[in-house]
Chains A and B, each alone.
Chain A
């Protein structure tokens, strides 16, 4: 499994034209064959103005590293991003209002920061296609380069686990809070990109330990869950 992913990354590095993306892909190659208890991962969560990768914008990015199976709060970081226009109605979901975004950074510098922080680490997100979609669009916009990001999807892991036991999943079963509750993880009232990254990271720790020996579980196995 790890081998396939490694060759994929190697191929992508080979065909990409910019040095930034080439290096980014190469940095991730060793990570895919690591075991969970030794791996360097990065839990990520985004807040957006909506769900459409092309018309909506990223409002904030939260990152929390997972090193050797432990979430490292001392390197937890969040960036608010200045957007074009107003957050509009989405403020009711993420609680970020326009004047807070005044303190935010430009998308360019946020993406630069993101690429720098996540170099050599594989991403972890809950329902990763959405977050990755936004990030890939933004990276293209900033660097002019297409990139294909890799992430462990805690939602996919949970769906696979549940479908082994039952045929149909009720609506809401796979929401982050519902997933956490099944592992006895605490309820977090606050919602921002950082707290959701934390919530997602903790969920992954719980999922990994439920899957068995974290010293044998490889990142490749987790990545390939779809």
Chain B
């Protein structure tokens, strides 16, 4: 037989992952070996011959795989497979395949299956992974490392030069000379106490006419800014440029593990996000800030096309927004004068969570240290109006819900904010809570951290273990569910006649944000970034390791799909949206996306059980 004569079968098989990796001759041999069966709902289950395992390839119809106890393991549609576990393990068929919709199924015999595994490593790997049935191995995609998304650990010099806090500056200078470095970390009882640099020796010792016998602790910079080794290089750059420092001690678990210098960073290539932030910090008026912010969409596209991890793209873009906000505050203070009291600029929602993407709107507020008098109130009104207007003109449009610092409703003192949160937490009305959820993802972008902490600590103290509030939040988060229908793989949204596709934001990432938020508030966790929340929840054993990793991967995967979809829309001049049309996806990506949504579905069931069962 000439396989091309059975073109419909060859074409179908050729389009399926992992068969698409096979050589043409191998593929033809494979197609020739198939047998074709048809299964009808009337017979309820696919008859699986225990003594003769096969790979079953679904051509049409819908099926579900259940284990011996009737537990649902998988739902299958066109292009899905079953039967491979017993082919791979040689164990008896133990699962049952229920027929949901009549369909045509191709059978591949074990000899051909083994032959294909030998012929193609990808083929073999695909089924081994599917067998392992662990989402994290399937969805983990390899994002290329960008300089800016590199970790500090990749650039820092490890095994740092250290000196005891009671040594003299001459000892320190000699050590630095023989190690040929420009800084030394000062250690007190194995803990980092300070840093001494060339510049300190010059400015604080020699220029002051002091002796070499001076103890190190009198010349060093105490409590220096530090980062952990898994921080982003980008974050190190920001910290250095904001505080005009050139050396950053790297500390893991209170132990100094290295030093990162500005020279270390410069050795890497100059990077666009940092250049952009540097430019923002150099601008002296609104018009030039608007000009600089025109580069933000391009920055996003560069990050997407470099295939950076979605989480890191969110952090980079949010850092740009933060820098822009801070610059606007500083510039307007130059016009309006010093603020009459301490205040914090609060970011809510996606900026709070550090997961901004294209076309974000503003969600912000102002936290005042105490009740303003009339003059102070006027000052803050003018300041917030100017900053919000500036953000709007830089492309962060006014919040449609008017959650902005320029709205007096969201320009409150510490005690007013505390009361406001207290009301949401203690008398949770469903509707009020729905609008309030973004406030619980808050972060201070500008202002003293002690002021912000007094707000956040109070809020978390009230939410922690507050069953009624958590049940209310959970119920709200369950109003939407992932777009998986009963048999059909994806439920598509329609707008009139036009199929819009899958809403990756509202039916994907937003649901994971909700889940992470409920857990974090229940445990009093301070993190607001969803990935960091999930990590913290895993570390404190609130979510088990496997579920946490699955959820984090699902979050990253869906966010990545959303960004790359927007990258596609951008390059094809289509209006950016959160809708993805699944027919444009390869069948493997469809598999993975479906798995990711299944994780969301399971996690929703998890919070429902944990937080709402008594209500």
Q: Residues of A at under 8 Å CB distance from B? A: 62, 67, 69-74, 76-78, 183-186, 188-190, 192, 194-195, 198, 201-202, 205-206, 209-210, 212-214
Interchain CA distance A171-B337 in the complex, whole Å = 86
Nearest CB on A from B281, distance (A): 60
Q: Is the CB of B103 within 8 A of A195?
A: no
Q: Is the CB of A73 within 8 A of B34?
A: yes
Q: Is the CB of A210 within 8 A of B8?
A: no
Interchain CA distance A72-B34 in the complex, whole Å = 7
Interchain CA distance A77-B36 in the complex, whole Å = 15
Q: In the complex, which of the residues A72, A73, A186, A190 contacts B7, with contact meaning CB atoms closer than 8 Å?
A: A190
Compute the total of residue contacts between A and B using a CB distance below 8 Å.
86
Chain B contacts with A in 99-117, Cβ cutoff 8 A:
101-104, 107
Q: Is the CB of A73 within 8 A of B8?
A: no
Q: Is the CB of B38 within 8 A of A72?
A: no
B residues in contact with A213, CB < 8 Å: 43
Q: Is the CB of B43 within 8 A of A73?
A: no
A residues in contact with B104, CB < 8 Å: 185-186, 202, 205-206
Pairs of residues from A and B, 5 with the lowest C-beta to C-beta distance, nearest first: A209-B40, A205-B38, A71-B36, A70-B35, A188-B8
Q: List 15 A-B contacts (CB under 8 A).
A: A73-B31, A73-B36, A76-B5, A183-B102, A184-B101, A186-B12, A186-B60, A194-B5, A195-B7, A198-B8, A202-B36, A206-B38, A206-B102, A210-B102, A212-B42
A residues in contact with B43, CB < 8 Å: 209, 213-214
Q: Is the CB of A78 within 8 A of B5?
A: yes
Q: In the complex, which of the residues B8, B33, B37, B42 contacts A69, with contact meaning CB atoms closer than 8 Å?
A: B37
Q: Is the CB of A195 within 8 A of B8?
A: yes
Q: In the complex, which of the residues B32, B38, B61, B102 contacts A73, with contact meaning CB atoms closer than 8 Å?
A: B32
Q: Residues of B at under 8 Å CB distance from A? A: 1-2, 5-9, 12, 31-40, 42-43, 59-61, 101-104, 107
B residues in contact with A72, CB < 8 Å: 35
Q: Is the CB of A76 within 8 A of B35?
A: no
Q: In the complex, which of the residues B1, B36, B61 contacts A78, with contact meaning CB atoms closer than 8 Å?
A: B1
Task: Tell me whether A209 and B34 are in contact in the complex, defined as CB-CB below 8 angstroms, given that A70-B107, A184-B60, A198-B6 are known contacts.
Answer: no
Interchain CA distance A71-B34 in the complex, whole Å = 8
Q: Is the CB of B37 within 8 A of A73?
A: no
For B2, B38, B42, the residue with the greatest tally of chain A CB atoms inside 10 Å of its CB is B38
Q: Is the CB of B33 within 8 A of A202?
A: no
Interchain CA distance A201-B31 in the complex, whole Å = 17
Interchain CA distance A189-B104 in the complex, whole Å = 17
A residues in contact with B1, CB < 8 Å: 73, 76-78, 194
Task: Tell me whether A76 and B6 are in contact in the complex, defined as CB-CB below 8 angstroms, given that A185-B60, A186-B59 are known contacts.
Answer: yes
Interchain CA distance A213-B47 in the complex, whole Å = 13
Q: Is the CB of A195 within 8 A of B34?
A: no
In the complex, which residue of chain B has the Cβ closest to the Cβ of A69? B37
For A76, A195, A201, A210, the residue with the greatest tally of chain B CB atoms inside 10 Å of its CB is A76
Q: In the complex, which of the residues A192, A205, A210 contacts B5, with contact meaning CB atoms closer than 8 Å?
A: A192
For B5, B34, B39, the residue with the greatest tally of chain A CB atoms inside 10 Å of its CB is B5
In the complex, which residue of chain A has the Cβ closest to the Cβ of B39? A209
For A67, A206, A212, the residue with the greatest tally of chain B CB atoms inside 10 Å of its CB is A206
Q: Is the CB of A195 within 8 A of B38?
A: no
Task: Tell me whether A71 and B35 are in contact in the complex, defined as CB-CB below 8 angstroms, given that A184-B61, A192-B5, A195-B6 are known contacts.
Answer: yes
In the complex, which residue of chain B has the Cβ closest to the Cβ of A70? B35
Q: Is the CB of A194 within 8 A of B8?
A: no
In the complex, which residue of chain B has the Cβ closest to the Cβ of A187? B8
Interchain CA distance A189-B2 in the complex, whole Å = 17
B residues in contact with A67, CB < 8 Å: 35
Nearest CB on A from B4, distance (A): 9
